[in-house]
Amino acid sequence: MELKPITIGSVRTENNVFLAPLAGYTNYPFRRLCERSGAGLAFTEMVSAKGLKYGSENTKALLYTTPEESPVAVQIFGSEPDIMRAACESEELSPFPIADINMGCPVPKIYKNGEGSALLENPALAEKIVSECAKSGKAVTVKFRVGVSEDKLIAAEFARRMEEAGAALLTVHGRTRDKYYSGEVNYREIAAAKNAVRIPVIANGGVFSEADADELLEKTGADGVMIARAALYDPQIFCDFTGRPREEKRQMIERQIKETRQVFDERFTTVFMRKMVAFYVKGMRGAAGWKERLFACPDPDSLLALVEEIFSE
């Protein structure tokens, strides 16, 4: 695919291949790993605007960043426009020039709360949220799905309304809410959203290779792609797009463990990196046995020792 910068408010990205916000995964060290591989923009994990209002320590922990990470976008969720705007204007979000509004999360707890993909069924409220957040001075973007179900496809009209409310960029996940993260990507609906607006549109869904990205852009006319699950299995997938050299996998993992350890405590580092290395060994000979041993590692040092064993074979 053709790499090109994307302008989002005052931010100009290096390229148009973005890392998706992934709950439970896109913490600072993981984002930095993907950025070193060439991701043009990375997003934090989904952050609760209400959690920020009430000073949740867990919420604040999701927002760790440093000046080295630039540009970076924060993704927030909620359904109350005043609280969403207050979040955008908060000190905690001051390092982030871009605020992405989650209007696609399909998880029942979020949906039943009127947040995430539930906003697809309440476009007037979605507009109000975007217009209020835009008053914060941040560039506001919106990530949404093409509908809640196949009989309620709303991509074009929803895109128009988000643009009119003040969104600077849209990311369209080409699946409906009821399909979660599986099933065919609806290219037609992403294309309809792209054709309905003047602002940049990023296509999301089913990108596991450069060939997938080429097909997605060809069939939708989108301005760029967003990579999600593929980055969990291979954070260096962005190298395939940018031409940057890949690190040897063992070296990459050791660096990720070290950087995660610098930001988080030993317990978090152990639990998180056990999950990550389990992704990295998928498809390897003896993967099931390696995973069993991975999840028995009690601390980062034992995990490092096992990584050395796995990747020295």
Residue list for the binding site for FMN: 75, 143, 173, 204-206, 228-229
Is residue 105 flagged as an active site residue?
yes
CA atoms within 13 A on the CB side of 168: 20
What is the separation, in whole angstroms, between the first and last Cα of the chain? Answer: 35
Strand pairing report for 7-8 and 11-12: antiparallel
User: To 10 degrees, what angle do helices 123-134 and 155-165 make?
Assistant: 30
Instruction: Point out the catalytic residue in the list 34, 105, 133, 297.
Output: 105
**Residue 67, preceding peptide bond in cis (omega within 30° of 0):** no
Query: Which two three-digit tokens encode residue 9?
Result: 């408010």
DSSP, collapsed to helix, strand or coil, labels residue 238 as helix
Q: Give the angle 12-37-301 at the CA atoms, nearest 5°.
A: 130
Pick from 48, 18, 76, 45: nearest CA to 228:
18
Which residue bears the tokens 């980055």? 231
Q: What are the residues facing 43 on neighbouring strands?
A: 73
Query: Which two three-digit tokens encode residue 20?
Result: 């998706």
E strand segments, 120-186: 139-145, 169-173
CA 93 to chain centre: 17
CA atoms within 13 A on the CB side of 291: 13
> What is the radius of gyration, based on Cα positions, of the chain?
19
Q: Please tell me what DSSP assigns to residue 185.
A: -
Active site residues: 105
